Amino acid sequence: MTPQDNLNLHLAESKAKNFLDSTFAAYMDDKDPLKALRDEFVIPTRGEIAPGADRPDEPCTYFCGNSLGLLPKAVARYVAEELQVWGEGAVNSHFKHRFGRPWVRIEETVQEQSARVVGAKKDEVAIMNTLTSNLHTLLAAFYTPTQDRHKILIESKAFPSDHYAVESQIRWHQRDPKESLICQEPRQGETLLRTEDILETIEKHGHEISVVCFSGIQFYTGQYFEMEKITKAAQAKGCIVGWDLAHAAGNVPVQLHDWNVDFACWCSYKYLNSGPGGIAGIFVHERHATNFDRNRLAGWWGHDKATRFDMVNEFKPIAGAAGFQHSNPSVLTTSALLGSLSVFEKTTMKDMRAKSFLLTGYLYHLLTTEFSTDVLEIITPTDPEQRGAQLSLVFKRGKMMDIFEGLAKKAIIGDERKPDVIRVAPTPLYSRFEDVRLFVVTLKELVNEFY
């Protein structure tokens, strides 16, 4: 049964007049098996988000988890505990910790939960640094260009930081990005990348490609790439395959181990809700766990734990992803991630995906039935399997900023990407069907005002 078929069935059960009827949204929210998780988050009020908005004490409509997730209530407790321990124990808290989380092993408190989110084994994951730093770390190890195989394949509209990182890695090896960087372009007149075109590029150029490095979900369009298929095709041509999961981790159920991905990295402040600038994560497949001949950027936190504090200047890397760590991780940001992951422990990625299919499917249906294509166009894939929570809306006739600012004044938060896109992402942990309905009702009012 497709998400739309499911919605049609629920419409009949709800006895609502149509999908925009508040009765339908209330019915769906009441039946939502994840509805209790919304109470795990601090949701800003309308008055806090938009001073002067009507109904100021009601929660705002927050569709910006693709940029920054909301604050889990548990984060305050975990961070406060670390501040308490710091105050009481100071340096001793590295080894003796009132709450059983000695700082010398703080990253281990979030390792297993993070591995479950990205479909990995525990030792294939390390929590460390921030996203672009981790991408550099991984490329330093896995991008080993030769005279014949020196190219990196990325999507043409990769997130700028990824593009900068890849270009700088190519230059680091004294090569010219004009010769060593392949940017996969969509077909003329199209916005999305077709899997068959990516596979064709791999087939044609695979013998000269060192690394294929795509985003799991494209930040601008919201396209969820066929990761398993692309990974398999690239590895068959002898390429290393890495993925930036910034918009995928905590959003869609990936299976990094089973898909045989070589490496991956992600941030934790979007769908993982760990807070602005939160600590990030890496994945290194267990096939590479003990390949200590592969060069890497080394640091003492990647050294064998048993002898780390012996201060011997002979690097002995830990097997697995942990061997790529540099410095001791931030205790406060790791604890914030622990607080967020405590919410994920109350559900599964499978159940979150099931709700996301319905929630974003509901939004997609309303947008395509309530608005004409000369007002807005959805550039995110129609197929629910090829998208996550996010829909990217192109507003025609130069009206995007008018619409965006109008929504903000009504305490409805998405984000804009110039020149004409508003991204909206109803996330299954805290978004409601009523939020979707209110967004569309308000958007109709704004369209009537500005078009």
For residue 291, which phi and psi values (nearest 5 degrees)? Answer: -85, 75
Residue 155 pairs in a beta bridge with 184
Residue 387 burial (10 A CB sphere; 0-12, 13-18, 19+) = buried
Q: Does the annotation list 244 as a binding residue? A: yes
CA distance 292 to 304: 12
Q: Does the annotation list 402 as a binding residue? A: no
CA distance 324 to 137: 8
Q: Does the annotation list 215 as a binding residue? A: yes
Residue 303 pairs in a beta bridge with 317
CA distance 404 to 386: 26
Question: At what angle are helices 160-172 and 131-142 packed, to 10 degrees?
Answer: 30
Q: Does the annotation list 160 as a binding residue? A: yes
Element (H, E) at 179: helix 177-180
Q: Does the annotation list 328 as a binding residue? A: yes
- Side-chain-facing half-sphere of 68: CA atoms under 13 Å: 8
Q: Does the annotation list 131 as a binding residue? A: yes
CA distance 332 to 76: 10
Tokens coding 41:
């988050």
Q: Does the annotation list 247 as a binding residue? A: yes
Coil, helix or strand at residue 285: coil
Torsion of CA 326, 328, 333, 339, to 10 degrees: 110
CA distance 387 to 382: 8
Q: Does the annotation list 132 as a binding residue? A: yes
Q: Does the annotation list 162 as a binding residue? A: yes
Cβ neighbours for 435, distance < 8 A, ≥ 6 positions apart = 61, 62, 63, 426
CA distance 371 to 353: 26
The one-letter amino acid code at 450 reads F
Cβ neighbours for 451, distance < 8 A, ≥ 6 positions apart = 375, 397, 399
Residues tagged in the binding site annotation: 131-132, 159-162, 215, 244, 247, 269, 300, 328
Residues tagged in the binding site annotation for pyridoxal 5'-phosphate: 131-132, 159-162, 215, 244, 247, 269, 300, 328
